[in-house]
Amino acid sequence: MSVQPLDDAPRTAGAALPVRPTTGCLDPLPLAQAAITGGFWARMQQLNRDAVIPHCDESLEKVGWIGNVRAAVDGTLATERVGRLFTDSEIYKVMEAMAWEQARNDSPRLRGRLGELTALLAAAQHGDGYLNTFYGYPGGPGRYSDLEWGHELYCAGHLMQAAVAMIRCGVDEGISSIARAAADHVCAEFADGAREGVCGHPEIETALVELYRLTGQDRYLAQARSFIQRRGRRTLGDTMYGGRDYYQDSVPVHDADVLVGHAVRALYLTAGAVDVAVESGDEDLLHAAQRQYDRTLERRTYLHGGMGAHHHGEAFGADFELPADRAYAETCAGIASIMVAWRLLLATGQERYADVIERTLYNVVAACPGEDGRAFFYVNTLHRRSPGTDPEPGVPSLRRTDGRRASWFTTSCCPTNVARTLASLDCYLATSDADGLQVHQYAPANISARLPGRGTVAVRVETDYPHDGLVRLRITDTVSGPWTLSLRIPGWTAGGARITGAAGDVHADGGRTDLTRSWSVGEEVLLHLDCGPRVVHADPRVDAVRGCVALERGPLVYCLESVDQPDLDLDLVSVDIDDRPSETATEVVVTGHVLPDPAQSWPDAGAGAARADGSPVKLRFTPYYRWANRGTSTMRVWVPTT
C-alpha cells in the first residue's frame, strides 16, 4: 500500500463524482463515464428519483426544517424554530441527492428547486460565513457553545458536500460562494491558536478535504488535518454512552487500533482521516485508518455489512459482540462504511473493499427504503422476534427501533443519506488507472475511461446480477496496444469464478483478475459467478449466533420471514444444513425442524431442551433487503442448525 500521485486525469468542475483524491492507486470515474443502465440498481435509482427524493423534500417542508431557514432569513428563529439541532444537515443531504440526480438525468424541476434552496441559504448566511439555524441568532444559544452535541461543524460539512456535488454537477446557483464563505469561517474560527476544538460529530473533515480538492485551497486541507490531529485528546466532555469513546475523543486517530463509539461518527471520522492521509502524504495516518477499519470488519461487522451493535449510544460493541436481535446497524453507518471502503479501495487498490461495498449496498442500503420509497429503516436488525407495530401515521418517529419502516424521524438522517448515496451510485461501479479499467460492481452499465496519452476505452456491461451470475462485458471503445480490463471476483465465491470469451478460459480466485491484451471493439468477456444458495458460518466467537447458519445467494443475505411460513414460530425452527436447498424465482427452500417448546425454561431448561423432534418442515428464505414489505412480521437471518 502506498500513496502515489496519479496521472493527470481530467479534474474539471463538471466531473460529477463525490470523492476525487489527487493521489492513490485507482482513479474514480465521474457520472458521465459510469452509468447504470438497468437492473437491480436502476430500479432502486428510479425509486429514489420518483419517491425517496421527493418524499424527503416534502417532509423537510412539512416538518418545518426548511422553514427554519426561512425563519433565519426573517429573524424569527427565536419563536419559530422547530426540530433537533442537526435538521439543517438533512436539507444539505437532499440538495446533494438532487445534484447527483440532476446530473444523471437533467431536470429543470430539480435544477429549479436547487436554485430556490440555494437562494434561501444565501439569504440566511451570516455576513461572516456562519450558517446554522439552531445557534447564533439573537436570543438563541451561542455559536459553538456546545461542541459535544451542537453538530454545527457537522452541518457545515454537509453544506460543503452538497456544494461540491452541485458544483461538480454543473448547478452552482451560487452555492460555491456560500460553501467557501462557510469554510473560510470555520478555518478562521477553528484555526490553530484560536478555538482549538473539534465537533462532537465528525463530518467536517471529509467535507473540507473534498472542498480542497475542488478549489485547491490549501487551508481547507490544513484545517481538516488539524481536526484529525486534535481528535482523541479528550477536549470533549464525558458522556454516558461509553465516555469519550462515544465521539472518538479518547485515543488519537493515528494511534487507535479499532473503531469505537458511535458508529456513524467513527466511520465519518475514518473517511476524513483517509482523505487527509492521501492528500497530505501521511502514510502513518492511512495505515492507522486501514488498520482500524480492517479490524472492525473482521470483528465488529454484521453479516449484512451493518456496523454498530449497540442501541445505547448507537455504538460499536466489543469484538464479536454482534447480537442479531439487538443489531443496531444504522443505515447511515452502512453508508458511512461504504464511504470508508471506497476511499480505501481508491487509495490501496485492494478489491476486498469493493466486496464490503457490495455486501453493504445490497443488504443495508437496499433494505432501508420500503417498496414505495416513502418509509425507511433507521435500524437494520438481523432478527425481529415480535412483529412490532406500524409507526403512528403523520408523526415523525423517534429513533424507531422496532416494527416497520417509518416515513420520517425526529432524527431523519437515514432517508436523506440513502437518497444521496443512490443518486451517486454509478460512481462506485468502476475505476481506472494508467493501465486500464477496473470493474468493481456488476450492473448493466456503460463504463469508459481515458487512458493518459492513449485515448478512451469503454465497456458495456450486461447482466441480471445478482439474481443470475453471468456478467457479459463487451468492449465498446478501445485504444491501440494492450490494456487491462480488471474484474473483481467477489470474496463470497468460495471456489472462485470462471471467465470465458475473448481472453480465453480463465479460472479466477476471489480478488482482482487482470485481463491484459489488445482489445477490439465488440469483443466480449463472460464472467460466470455461482449465484446459487450457500450456507454461511459466523465466527465461533460471535456468541449471539453460535450454532446457527445463514443463507446467502450471490451478494444477497437471505432471511426467514414469518409471512412466508405463517404456521411456524421462528424462534423454534432449526435448519438441516445437510439438505440441498431448492430454488424458486423468489425464494430458497430448505428442510428444517421445529424445536419442542421447553416445559421449563428458567433458570435451567435441561440438557435435552435443544433437541428437535417431529417431522421436517419447509423453511422459505427470501432476500433480506425485501423484508417487512408485507405487513408486520417476525424475521431472522441466522437460524440454528438441527
Task: Give the footprint of its own copies on this chain (CB under 8 A).
Answer: 238-240, 242-243, 297-299, 301, 303, 309-313, 317-321, 323-326, 359, 383, 385-386, 395, 398-399, 401-402, 410, 491-492, 494, 535-541, 543-548, 571-572, 595, 598, 601-607, 609-610, 638, 640
Nearer of residues 160 and 327 to its own copies, judged by Cβ = 327
Nearer of residues 376 and 519 to its own copies, judged by Cβ = 376
Which of 150, 136, 271 has the alpha carbon at shortest distance from 209? 271
| Pair type for strands 483-489 and 436-439 | parallel
Smallest gap from Cβ 383 to its own copies, in A, equals 7
Nearer of residues 242 and 581 to its own copies, judged by Cβ = 242
Smallest gap from Cβ 578 to its own copies, in A, equals 11
Task: Give φ, ψ of 193 to 5 degrees.
Answer: 90, -20
Smallest gap from Cβ 309 to its own copies, in A, equals 8
Smallest gap from Cβ 391 to its own copies, in A, equals 10
CB atoms within 10 A of CB 504: 10
Distances (CA, A) of 300 to 64, 297, 355, 635, 637: 37, 6, 16, 22, 17
Residue ranges in 33-192 assigned as alpha helix (H): 39-47, 53-62, 65-74, 77-80, 87-104, 108-124, 152-168, 175-189
Q: Which amino acid belongs to residue 398? A: L
Nearer of residues 311 and 626 to its own copies, judged by Cβ = 311
What DSSP character marks residue 315?
Answer: B
Smallest gap from Cβ 428 to its own copies, in A, equals 19
Nearer of residues 286 and 637 to its own copies, judged by Cβ = 637
Nearer of residues 301 and 424 to its own copies, judged by Cβ = 301
Nearer of residues 521 and 605 to its own copies, judged by Cβ = 605
- For residue 183, give the C-alpha cell: 469554510
Smallest gap from Cβ 337 to its own copies, in A, equals 12
Contact 95, 173 (CB under 8 A): no
What is the DSSP annotation of 328-372? ---HHHHHHHHHHHHHHHHHH--THHHHHHHHHIIIIITTSB-TT
What is the DSSP annotation of 200-241? SS--HHHHHHHHHHHH--HHHHHHHHHHHHHTTSS-SPP-TT
Smallest gap from Cβ 311 to its own copies, in A, equals 3
Nearer of residues 295 and 454 to its own copies, judged by Cβ = 295
CA dihedral 372, 377, 383, 387 (to 10 degrees): -60
Smallest gap from Cβ 356 to its own copies, in A, equals 9
